[in-house]
């Protein structure tokens, strides 16, 4: 199982980026996988940023990104996206995605609930 995050880079404050999480070895939709995005920056605790349930009926966001980030999924492409806007230097981090089979149709912002996780992509917000 691989979860490949991509789309990171250098962006100015106030800018936008779209991250992608492409899954292989599992089928996100048919396999009933919820997906979460997490971030880690030096000196800070890992933070659950957003998550999306199997049917997209449930999504959750950390308070720090609410209203600025949008999570979505395209099961036909086996990919989950994180659209980030109004970025600030505090959003600078390595972002990675994680997936787990969920029978209950929910998703969680805690990493412990996810079985699979991938390598991250670095987002740097700086002028």
**SS3 of the chain:** CEEEEECCEEECCCCCEEEEEEEECCCCCCCCEEEEEEEECCCCCCEEEEEECCCCCCEEECCCCCCCEEEEEECCCCEEEEEECCCCHHHCEEEEEEEEECCCCCCCCCHHHCCEECECEEEEECC
- Is the confidence at residue 103, as pLDDT, over 90? no
- Work out the average pLDDT over 102-110: 90
| Cβ(108)–Cβ(50) below 8 Å | no
Asked if the model's pLDDT at residue 22 lies above 90, the reply is yes
What's residue 31's pLDDT?
A: 85
User: Is the pLDDT reported for residue 90 higher than 90?
Assistant: yes
Check pLDDT > 90 for residue 62. yes
**Mean predicted confidence (pLDDT) in 4-27:** 97
Confidence of residue 30 (pLDDT cuts 50, 70, 90): confident
Does position 80 have pLDDT exceeding 90, yes or no?
Answer: yes
What per-residue confidence (pLDDT) applies to 104? 85
């Amino acid at each position: 199982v691989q979860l490949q995050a991509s789309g990171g880079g250098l962006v100015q404050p106030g800018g936008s980026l779209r991250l992608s999480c492409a899954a292989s070895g599992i089928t996100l939709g048919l396999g009933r996988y919820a997906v979460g995005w997490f971030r880690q920056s030096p000196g800070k605790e890992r933070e659950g940023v957003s998550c999306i349930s199997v049917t997209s009926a449930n999504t959750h966001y950390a308070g720090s990104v609410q209203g600025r980030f949008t999570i979505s999924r395209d099961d036909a492409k086996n990919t989950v996206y994180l659209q980030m806007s109004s970025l600030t230097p505090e959003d600078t981090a390595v972002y990675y995605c994680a997936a787990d089979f969920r029978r209950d149709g929910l998703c969680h912002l805690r990493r412990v609930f996810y079985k699979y996780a991938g390598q991250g992509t670095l987002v740097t917000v700086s002028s």
